[in-house]
Every structure is written in C-alpha cells, then in structure tokens.
Amino acid sequence: MNRLRAAIRGAGEALALSAHFAAPQHVDAVARAQSWGPRRLQRLVDGLLLEGLLLADADARVRAADRWPTGDRGAPGAALLAQIIQRDRPFDPNQDGLSLRVESAALSVAGLLSDATGAPARELGARLATTLPTTGTCLDAGGGWGDVLAVLLAETSEIRAVLVDRTDRVAMARQRLARHAARLETVSADLVAYAPAPFADVALLNNVLHEHGPRTGATLVARVAHTLRAGGELWIKEPTRGGAEALRACLFALGAAIFTAEGDLYDAATIRTWMTDAGLTDIRTFTLASAPEATVYAGRRP
C-alpha cells in the first residue's frame, strides 16, 4: 500500500496540484480550467485528502496543505495516473506505449485493483458452499478465472455452477476448473445481454459493478436478479465508498477510474436501490474477514 500512496503523491506532484489548489477551489473548477476529467481528478484528490496533502472545507472546496513534500514524482505508477487524468481516458494496453504498460503493471502488482481473487474468493466460495441447497445451482456472473467457483465446487459434491464472462476469461476458467467439468457450465456472453430463464439458487456479482457506470450497473443487477428462481438470492460483493476502510476503498475507486471507462465505487444506498428496483427483498449485508473494505449485499427474489 505504501507504493500506491507514493504513486498518488507523485501524480499530484506531476500535475502541480499544490499550485492549482493554492487557494480553495472546487475540483470541477480545476478540472475545467485544465481540460482534465473531473471524475478521475476527484479520485486522485480523494487519495491526497487522506494523505493530508489536500484539505477540504465544509463547502467541498479543496486547498493544498501548507507543506507539500516532493520526491515522489518518479514513483512507479505516478506518470500513468497523471497522464490518464490529463487525457481523461482509461489505460488501454492495446494502444498505450511500453512505458505506460510498465506503469500499469506496477500499479496492478501493488494492489490498485481490489482483490476479487485470493483470500476473499476462498472465503466467499466457502460461504456459498454452506448456503446453497445440496443440489443447488450457483451463477457466477462476471466470474473471471473461476476463483470463487473453484472453492465452491471443491467443497461440495452435487452443487452445479454456471460461469458467465468474456471469452478469454471463460477459456481460462474452463481450463482451471477442468476437474469439475461435469458440474460446470461456462458461457461466453455480455452480461448486459445475458437473459436466460430463471435457474439459479444463488447468483453472484463479485467485484463487477465497479467496472461500469451507474446505468449499466443498475441493468446488470436487474439482469442477474432475473436469473434467480423464486426464493433464490443475489449476492453482490463490492468495496464500499464511505466504509471503515477508507484508504483501501479510495485506492479501489482510483483503480476503477484509471482502468475502466466509466467505473466507480457506489455507496450502500445506491446498491440497495438497484437491488430493490430489480424486485429483490429482505436485503441484508455482511462482511468478509479477508476483505474488510468490502460489503456483501444479499437480496432474495420472492
């Protein structure tokens, strides 16, 4: 995390934010004056507020702290953060040059993108294994390489699973989960267009919504909720803006701004509204010990 904090400070230095916020300014005003993307600039400012290098008043105006340390401009990832804010376009591995690809790798390795794999995936898979009916079916919508399903299928003997994602991710998941092939179906599809008849006892959106803008996010929740049988549950795991782990959530929001076109973190009220609008009831939340920055929302289809 210290490397990410250095990259944030370095990007602020490269963008001369101490000068732009020498007097109290709203973030949108600075973005307009510099022709930068306001949403992406705001995510960097959020990080610098937590670092204490920027200060905000009651009117949401921001000013630079009296002392702004220098020396982080060359930190791995700082140049990428600064350039993407200036151009207001996400990182593109197919078009960006080698130097930015190296910077992107440095940020990813340092953990700018939240952990949808590793310990949180194992904990989530184990929890699903004790929740699903013995012969139930789990849909992992946007399931990536199948980290959650690897645990779920290993810890159960009759539960079936369906994983839906992009073609490249589905191919990797199919290979990783080959020993569970008899109980696994993989589907290459755009989640926004995925609309099968209801079949799932539990459907999962694990760190998916942050990759999309709010309109698409609401659509995804509605689409995946529709795959549930009566009484089935939709589980949504997302880092939560305004949660107890403010720095981790802030870093995740910055990652969404850098690596996706419209992605962002959404607060609890927004996600609950999407679930209610999708017809889900009895919405509850819980957390995972391995992902304290995230919230899992669970809602039932009547």
Least confident of 100-114, 221-235, 253-267: 100-114
Q: What is the mean pLDDT of residues 106-126?
A: 72
Sequence-distant contacts of 84-90: CB under 8 A, at least 24 apart: 84/40, 84/257, 84/258, 85/11, 85/15, 85/36, 85/37, 85/40, 85/41, 85/44, 86/15, 86/34, 86/36, 87/37, 88/36, 88/37, 88/40, 89/261, 90/257, 90/258, 90/259, 90/260, 90/261
pLDDT at 103: 77
- Please say which residue of 59, 78, 110 terminates a domain: 110
pLDDT at 78: 92
Question: What's the structural domain count of the chain?
Answer: 2
Q: How far is it, in rounded angstroms, from Cα 109 to Cα 33?
A: 33
Least confident of 3-7, 39-43, 121-125, 276-280: 3-7
CATH code of 176's domain = 3.40.50.150
pLDDT digits (tens, 9 = 90+) for 192-207: 999 999 999 999 999 9
Query: Between β-strands 160-165 and 184-188, what pairing exists: parallel, antiparallel or unpaired?
Result: parallel
pLDDT digits (tens, 9 = 90+) for 17-71: 999 999 999 999 999 999 999 999 999 999 999 999 999 999 999 999 998 888 8
Is residue 288 a contact partner of residue 297, using CB atoms and an 8 Å limit? Answer: no
Q: How many other CB atoms sit within 10 Å of the CB of residue 32? A: 11
- Most confident of the following: 251-260, 275-284, 286-295: 275-284
pLDDT at 94: 85
Q: Which domain holds residue 46?
A: 2-110
Is residue 295 a contact partner of residue 272, using CB atoms and an 8 Å limit? Answer: no
- Please say which residue of 62, 90, 110 terminates a domain: 110
